[in-house]
A and B are shown apart, each in its own frame.
Chain A
Amino acid sequence: MKTKSRLFVALDVLLIIMMILPLAVAIGIKVLITPPSEGINIAGARIIYTFDNMPIQPLVITESQVNSWLIIISIFSLCLYFTHGIKVKADTKRQHALEWIVEKCDGLVGQNMGEYFAAFSPFIASIIALSAFSSLMCLFGLFPPTSDINIVGGWALLVFILITYYKLKCGPWHYIKGFAEPIVILAPMNLISEIATPVSMAFRHYGNVLSGTVISVLVTTGLQGLSNILLGWLPGFLGEFPFLQIGIPAVLSAYFDVFSSCLQAYIFAMLTMMYVSGAFPAEDYFKRKEKKKNKKITTKEKLEVI
């Protein structure tokens, strides 16, 4: 077996550092901007910097934005690390893992969206990765960007644009006619349900992640009070020791932070796939295209005959 060159190993190490460094930077920012306070409090994303001289309104840079940029850098380095030194014939563990991931993602997209949307696989994979890693950031005690409605709302808006694009691709007249179904009077309802799609996607993801945070903090605070009542009479260090807070919040965290985060990422991607593929009936589209072509040919033939 050929040994790896020194440059290859150096690049590997550099990429691993690039993966971990954004998390360290995020922790550093968190330490710098969090004011010292007593006890536990629930707060939204903290504002890092405000640009005042903006045309419409001050541009606010919040913790959630910065964290999501950092997680993007981290995932980018992860992808570079995985694809570093790939060959046509897989012979390293890294490449086998990468091929497994890509095959799984291709299979998922092919199963749910059909042949026509096979090119959507990288988009769906990036949505899953970004969402899951953003939510899992709270394992490091950082502010998860997905518990901010603005971030998730942006993703949902992107999906909404995609859906509308594919609906318009079917034909603008077809799109407008879709609102007047089954009868014309229901058009406002259809319009509302059209707008409700991205709103419900954003709220679902954001609400799930936020609820986990809030419930964990409430339970921890409650356990603090309980252990104070039960064991507060012990003298000195023993009285202040948080007996009940060891272990019990970790069980909640395992459900809310790990399981729920991954499930929500999967569901967001799944809904994206379902809505986008539902917006564009590919078979119907091609059938109509074929019909139009045939019509043109027949008219041409008729003209030639005449």
Chain B
Amino acid sequence: MELAIGFILGCCALGAGLAMIAGIGPGIGEGNAVAKACEAIGRQPESKGSVTSTMLMGCAIAETTGIYALVIAILLIFVAPNMFVNILLRVMGA
């Protein structure tokens, strides 16, 4: 019983850590976006305002996949262990 609960908790933590690997993608993508925006501002300094606002917008959209991973990780850490342990206890009790 203790082993099973420990296994569930450990796997939830591992899963949360693995889910956050998705943070690589937005990191690279946003880095690219900001690099290009810097280039554009360097070439045309007068378009700084519109380039910056477009870049922020694009960054926030590129962030979406990272946010999905984060939501999954948060669910795995704070919600899933409780739920799975409850299921286990109900099955074992019955």
Contact A204 B63 (CB under 8 A): yes
Contact A207 B71 (CB under 8 A): yes
The distance in angstroms between the C-alpha atoms of A270 and B74, with both chains bound, is: 27
Q: Which residues of chain B are near A200, meaning CB under 8 Å?
A: 64
Contact of B60 among A42, A214, A267 (CB under 8 A): A267
Interface SS, A side: helix
A98 interface contact, C-beta 8 A: no
Q: Which residues of chain A are near B70, meaning CB under 8 Å?
A: 207, 211
A131 interface contact, C-beta 8 A: no
Contact B71 A263 (CB under 8 A): no
Scan A209-225; emit 1 where CB is below 8 A from any B CB, else 0: 01100100000000000
Determine the residue in chain B with the shortest Cβ distance to A264: B60
The distance in angstroms between the C-alpha atoms of A207 and B23, with both chains bound, is: 14
Contact B67 A208 (CB under 8 A): yes
Q: Which residues of chain B are near A207, meaning CB under 8 Å?
A: 67-68, 70-71
Interface SS, B side: helix
B83 interface contact, C-beta 8 A: no
Among B57, B67, B74, chain A packs the most CB atoms within 10 A around the CB of: B67
Scan B50-94; emit 1 where CB is below 8 A from any A CB, else 0: 000000110011011001101100100010000000000000000
The distance in angstroms between the C-alpha atoms of A42 and B64, with both chains bound, is: 23
The distance in angstroms between the C-alpha atoms of A271 and B63, with both chains bound, is: 14
Determine the residue in chain A with the shortest Cβ distance to B67: A207
Given contacts A270-B57, A271-B61, 20 further A-B contacts (CB under 8 A): A42-B78, A203-B64, A203-B67, A203-B68, A203-B71, A204-B60, A204-B61, A204-B63, A204-B64, A207-B68, A207-B70, A208-B63, A208-B67, A210-B71, A210-B74, A211-B70, A211-B74, A263-B56, A264-B60, A267-B60
Q: List 29 A-B contacts (CB under 8 A).
A: A42-B78, A200-B64, A203-B67, A203-B68, A203-B71, A204-B60, A204-B61, A204-B63, A204-B64, A204-B67, A206-B71, A207-B67, A207-B68, A207-B70, A208-B67, A210-B71, A210-B74, A211-B67, A211-B70, A211-B74, A214-B74, A263-B56, A263-B60, A264-B60, A267-B57, A267-B60, A267-B61, A270-B57, A271-B61
Binding site for A on B (CB under 8 A): 56-57, 60-61, 63-64, 67-68, 70-71, 74, 78
